[in-house]
């Protein structure tokens, strides 16, 4: 019977998005807007996915109450109304639509730039009041002026191209974007101080995080060119509104245009009293085209995730194409099994996990492979749910350092995946490959060569290489009524050792008494039972 997934739409979205969800397979869609936190906490336990805009706050209590919640979708760019850290810790995928309303926001930025330059809102109010005094509204041409863009993501690049088309000189600052990419979009790279000193107009296009909160504070506003203008169509908390108002009143800045505010609506903002400030009510995505685009995009992402598991556009997972994920998926399954195995073989807390990829597989993005190795490693060690979303977070919380390495040099196999776990007292290494590029095989445990399908319950022993060990193990399993599906006995590939291992695929888990009896056999050094 096909599982039905329930989706709650908590903020208004375009009807095309809702219709797509309703026609997108085994999805049941409810629309309940205007819920306060208490009401949302009461409703959310019944849903697999939640879709919001900017109004609904998806707080940690809401996320904690979402016992079945698998995904949160934000129809728009900013996710400061969503506790992404809490969602990640719970293994909930967060989606947004960073590019769907990019053109609309870029066009609004240009509109604000022109409004500031020609005093359009003030002139409009004057005419409506019965005045006709064009001399009061002498403006400035923007051709030949310098625009400084802080934050050079998709929207910043679109603004740059449009400003260049208006014959403006464009500067850009973004510590995460290469200068070559800025040049491709008609912008000259600058550091932040240089940009503020040179620009006639400064436009903000960066996310609101701890490092960017009050990015434009009193000290940075003071570094702006005298007579410059500030535009913010990004996030409200980027600007210290009190400092901005003071700079305009003092004549240091000629004006500002803001579409976003620290508090929305800005009931107590000192900017409200200033005539040289243009203010709009968060219109960045408010076009027919953008409303439809963000709604369709988030609906597509949520429907695809719930029905296929696709996470290409997830905010809290590495952004990897579905084509690339299709190629890595068999290695992810192998990595999860190997992670579970090395966890079972390692005694005590693990302080380091090393994932090494050799041969043809080295050309793949290792991040999803490492994530699944962590899922396998941690699932048997933690009580809560572990998945690809929260695995890295949980590893950090456990004090586990994770390292990756890749080498095109093959090691006995066309592709080889090696996972190494380091504890205070020992290092355990397991390795596996894919037969035919898709069938997982365990090929090595430490220095012992084996060949096993890493699936199902197993018994592992490390013992003296002497006659009678296998027979003794078989006798105990037979008495327990447990069949041996496959047995793999390995000798040290380096030679010179009197130790051996046995990896036995069994039909059912063993009882604690049976394990204790095996451990008591004189030849046995170590015994472990686990399921992969």
Q: What is the pLDDT of residues 106-131, one digit of tens each?
A: 999 999 999 999 999 999 999 999 99
The reply to whether 185 belongs to the active site is no
Calculate mean pLDDT across residues 232-250: 96
Rg of the Cα atoms in the chain: 30
Q: What is the pLDDT of residues 76-86, one digit of tens each?
A: 887 889 998 89
Q: In what order do the strands lie in the sheet containing 169-173? A: 188-189, 169-173, 146-150, 201-204, 228-232, 253-258, 277-279
Q: What is the pLDDT of residues 475-501, one digit of tens each?
A: 999 988 988 888 888 777 666 667 888
Write down the residue that tokens 């013992």 correspond to: 463
Lowest mean pLDDT among 272-276, 379-383, 514-518: 379-383
Arithmetic mean of pLDDT over the chain: 91
- Per-residue pLDDT band at 178 (split at 50, 70, 90): confident
pLDDT computed for residue 208 by the predictor: 84
The reply to whether 235 belongs to the active site is yes
- Per-residue pLDDT band at 1 (split at 50, 70, 90): low
| Catalytic residue chosen out of the listed positions 264, 289, 408, 531 | 264
pLDDT computed for residue 417 by the predictor: 94
Token pair for 100: 């769907």
The three-state (H, E, C) secondary structure of 271-321, written as one string: HHHCCCEEECCCCCCCCHHHHHHHHHHHHHHHHHHHHHCCCCCECCCCCCC
Lowest mean pLDDT among 53-62, 282-291, 486-495: 486-495
Q: Which residues of 65-134 form beta strands (DSSP E)?
A: 71-74, 93-96
Q: Which residue has the higher pLDDT, 159 or 286?
A: 159
Token pair for 457: 């319950």
pLDDT computed for residue 2 by the predictor: 66
Lowest mean pLDDT among 51-55, 64-68, 311-315: 311-315
| Catalytic residue chosen out of the listed positions 235, 388, 462, 463 | 235
Buried (b) or exposed (e) across 267-287, using 16+ Cβ within 10 A? eebbbeebebbbbbeebbbeb
Contact indicator for 339, 350 with CB cutoff of 8 Å: no
| Catalytic residue chosen out of the listed positions 6, 46, 282, 393 | 282
Q: What is the pLDDT of residues 184-208, one digit of tens each?
A: 999 999 999 999 999 999 999 998 8
pLDDT computed for residue 381 by the predictor: 82
pLDDT computed for residue 319 by the predictor: 66
d(CA 410, CA 262): 55
Q: Is 33 helix (H, G, I), strand (E, B) or coil?
A: coil
Q: What is the pLDDT of residues 323-361, one digit of tens each?
A: 777 788 899 999 999 999 999 999 888 999 999 999 988
Candidates 295, 212, 257, 235; CA nearest to 20 is: 295
Calculate mean pLDDT across residues 52-74: 94
- Per-residue pLDDT band at 380 (split at 50, 70, 90): confident
The reply to whether 463 belongs to the active site is no
């Amino acid at each position: 019977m096909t599982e039905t997934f329930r989706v709650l739409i908590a903020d208004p979205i375009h009807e095309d998005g809702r219709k797509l969800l309703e026609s997108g397979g085994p999805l049941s869609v409810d629309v309940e807007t205007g819920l306060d936190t208490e009401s949302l906490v009461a409703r959310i336990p019944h849903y697999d996915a939640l879709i919001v805009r900017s109004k609904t706050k998806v707080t940690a209590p809401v996320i904690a109450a979402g016992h079945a919640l698998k995904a949160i979708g934000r129809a728009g760019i900013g996710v400061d109304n969503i506790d992404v850290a809490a969602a990640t810790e719970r293994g909930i995928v967060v989606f947004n639509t960073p590019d769907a309303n990019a053109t609309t926001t870029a066009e609004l930025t240009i509109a604000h730039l022109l409004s500031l330059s020609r005093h359009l809102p003030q002139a409009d109010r004057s005419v409506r009041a019965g005045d006709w005094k064009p001399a009061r509204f002498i403006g400035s041409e923007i051709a030949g002026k310098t625009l400084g863009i802080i934050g050079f993501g998709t929207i910043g690049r679109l603004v740059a191209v449009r400003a260049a088309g208006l014959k403006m000189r464009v500067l850009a600052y973004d510590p995460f974007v290469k200068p070559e990419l800025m040049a491709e979009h008609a912008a000259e790279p600058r550091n932040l101080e240089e940009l503020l000193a040179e620009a006639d107009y400064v436009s903000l296009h960066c996310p609101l995080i701890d490092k960017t909160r009050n990015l434009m504070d009193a000290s940075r506003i003071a570094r702006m060119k005298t007579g410059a203008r500030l535009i913010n169509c990004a996030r409200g908390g980027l600007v210290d509104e009190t400092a901005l108002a003071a700079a305009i009143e003092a004549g240091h800045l000629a004006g500002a245009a803001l579409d976003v505010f620290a508090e929305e609506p800005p009931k107590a903002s000192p900017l409200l009293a200033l005539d040289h400030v243009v203010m709009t009510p968060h219109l960045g995505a408010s076009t027919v085209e953008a409303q439809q685009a963000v709604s369709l995009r988030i609906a597509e992402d949520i429907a695809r995730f719930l029905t296929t598991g696709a996470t290409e556009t997830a905010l809290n997972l590495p952004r990897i194409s579905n084509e690339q994920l299709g190629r890595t998926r068999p290695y992810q399954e192998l990595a999860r099994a190997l992670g579970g195995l090395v966890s079972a073989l390692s005694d005590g807390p693990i302080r380091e996990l090393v994932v090494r990829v050799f041969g043809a597989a080295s050309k793949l993005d290792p991040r999803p492979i490492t994530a699944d190795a962590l899922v396998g490693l941690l699932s048997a060690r933690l009580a809560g749910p572990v998945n690809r979303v929260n695995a890295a977070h949980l590893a950090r919380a456990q004090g586990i350092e994770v390292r990756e390495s890749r080498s095109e040099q093959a090691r006995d196999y066309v592709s080889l995946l090696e996972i190494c776990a380091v504890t205070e007292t020992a290092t355990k290494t397991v390795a596996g490959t894919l037969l035919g590029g898709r069938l997982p095989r365990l090929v090595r445990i430490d220095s012992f060569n084996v060949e096993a399908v890493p699936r199902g319950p197993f018994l592992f022993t490390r013992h003296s290489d002497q006659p009678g060990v296998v027979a003794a193990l078989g006798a105990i399993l037979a008495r327990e009524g447990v069949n041996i599906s496959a047995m793999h006995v390995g000798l040290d590939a380096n030679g010179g050792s009197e130790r051996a291992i046995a990896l036995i695929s069994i039909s059912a888990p063993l009882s604690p008494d049976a394990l204790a009896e095996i451990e008591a056999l004189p030849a046995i050094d170590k015994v472990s039972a686990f399921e992969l």
